[in-house]
Amino acid sequence: MGLSVINPPSTPSPIKPSRPELEDEIRNKPVNRGNEREKERFPQKLNSSLSNLPSYDSPAINLPIQKTGSLDALIQNLDLKTESEKDGNSTMGSVKDMEAEMKRLKMELMQTKRMFDTACKEAISEKRKADELNTWKKEEAPRIEKALLSEVSALASVEVEKAKAKTAIEAAEKAQKLAKLEKQKRLVAEMQAKQELEKRRATVSSNKSITCRNYTLEEIEIATDCFAESLKIGEGGYGPVFKGKLENTAVAIKVLRPDAKQGKKQFQREVEILSCIRHPNMVLLLGACPEYGSLVYEFMDYGSLEDRLYRRSKTPPIPWRIRFKIATDIATGLLFLHQTKPEPLVHRDLKPANILLNKNFVCKIGDVGLAHLVPASVANEVTQYHMTSAAGTLCYIDPEYQQTGSLGTKSDIYSLGIVLLQIITGRPPSGITRYVEDALEKGTLESLLDRSVSDWPIEETINFAKLALKCVELRKRDRPDLDNVVLPELRRISNMF
- pLDDT at residue 39 is higher than 70: no
Residues 382 and 437: beta-carbon distance below 8 Å = no
pLDDT number for residue 98: 86
pLDDT number for residue 384: 43
- Cα 8 to Cα 56: distance, rounded to the nearest angstrom: 8
- Cα 35 to Cα 136: distance, rounded to the nearest angstrom: 31
pLDDT number for residue 42: 45
- Cα 127 to Cα 121: distance, rounded to the nearest angstrom: 10
Cα-based distances in Å from 82 to 26, 106, 113, 137: 17, 11, 20, 56
- pLDDT at residue 418 is higher than 80: yes
pLDDT number for residue 278: 86
Candidate list 307, 329, 349, 398, residue with the active-site label: 349
Domain(s) of CATH 3.30.200.20: residues in the chain: 183-299
pLDDT number for residue 270: 79
- Cα 18 to Cα 15: distance, rounded to the nearest angstrom: 9
- Binned at pLDDT 50, 70 and 90, residue 94 comes out as confident
**140 or 30, greater pLDDT:** 140
- pLDDT at residue 83 is higher than 70: no
- Binned at pLDDT 50, 70 and 90, residue 242 comes out as very high
Convert the pLDDT of each residue in 348-385 to its tens digit: 889 999 999 998 999 999 887 666 655 544 444 433 44
pLDDT number for residue 370: 63
- pLDDT at residue 484 is higher than 70: yes
Give mean pLDDT, residues 228-244: 86
Convert the pLDDT of each residue in 126-145 to its tens digit: 999 988 888 888 888 888 88
pLDDT number for residue 373: 53
Residues 311 and 451: beta-carbon distance below 8 Å = no
- Cα 271 to Cα 277: distance, rounded to the nearest angstrom: 10
Residues 6 or more apart whose CB falls under 8 angstroms from that of 419 comprise 305, 327, 330, 350, 351, 352, 355, 396
- pLDDT at residue 293 is higher than 80: yes
pLDDT number for residue 390: 52
- Cα 244 to Cα 248: distance, rounded to the nearest angstrom: 10
- Binned at pLDDT 50, 70 and 90, residue 260 comes out as low
pLDDT number for residue 135: 86
- Binned at pLDDT 50, 70 and 90, residue 493 comes out as very high
Cα-based distances in Å from 420 to 96, 153, 460, 471, 479: 144, 66, 13, 9, 14
The yes-or-no answer on residue 349 being catalytic is yes
Cα-based distances in Å from 326 to 318, 323, 402, 490: 10, 5, 27, 10
- Binned at pLDDT 50, 70 and 90, residue 182 comes out as confident
Burial status of residue 298 (CB atoms within 10 A of its CB: 0-12, 13-18, 19 or more):
middle
The closest alpha carbon to 419, from 442, 393, 440, 444, belongs to 393
- pLDDT at residue 97 is higher than 60: yes
- Cα 182 to Cα 185: distance, rounded to the nearest angstrom: 5
3-state per-residue secondary structure call for 156-225:
HHHHHHHHHHHHHHHHHHHHHHHHHHHHHHHHHHHHHHHHHHHHHHHHHHHCHHHCCEECCHHHHHHHHC
Q: Which of 35-39, 161-165, 233-237 has the highest mean pLDDT?
A: 161-165
- Binned at pLDDT 50, 70 and 90, residue 238 comes out as confident
pLDDT number for residue 120: 92
- Cα 369 to Cα 347: distance, rounded to the nearest angstrom: 8
pLDDT number for residue 107: 92
Q: Which of 128-137, 230-239, 414-423, 449-458 has the lowest mean pLDDT?
A: 230-239
Calculate ∠ Cα 102-107-108, nearest 5°: 95
Residues 6 or more apart whose CB falls under 8 angstroms from that of 294 comprise 215, 220, 253, 254, 255, 256, 288
Convert the pLDDT of each residue in 301-356 to its tens digit: 999 999 999 998 888 999 999 999 999 999 999 999 999 877 788 888 899 999 99
- pLDDT at residue 79 is higher than 90: no
- pLDDT at residue 272 is higher than 70: yes
Give mean pLDDT, residues 85-104: 71
- Binned at pLDDT 50, 70 and 90, residue 184 comes out as confident
Instruction: State in words which class domain 303-497 has.
Output: mainly alpha
pLDDT number for residue 74: 58
Is the domain spanning 183-299 CATH 3.30.200.20? The answer is yes
pLDDT number for residue 329: 95
- Binned at pLDDT 50, 70 and 90, residue 16 comes out as very low
pLDDT number for residue 378: 43
- Binned at pLDDT 50, 70 and 90, residue 35 comes out as very low
> Ramachandran region of residue 489, left (φ > 0), alpha (ψ -120 to 50) or beta?
alpha
pLDDT number for residue 204: 47
Give mean pLDDT, residues 196-208: 57
Q: Which of 41-55, 251-265, 424-438 has the lowest mean pLDDT?
A: 41-55
Domain(s) of CATH 1.10.510.10: residues in the chain: 303-497
- pLDDT at residue 101 is higher than 80: yes
What mean pLDDT, rounded, does the chain reach?
78
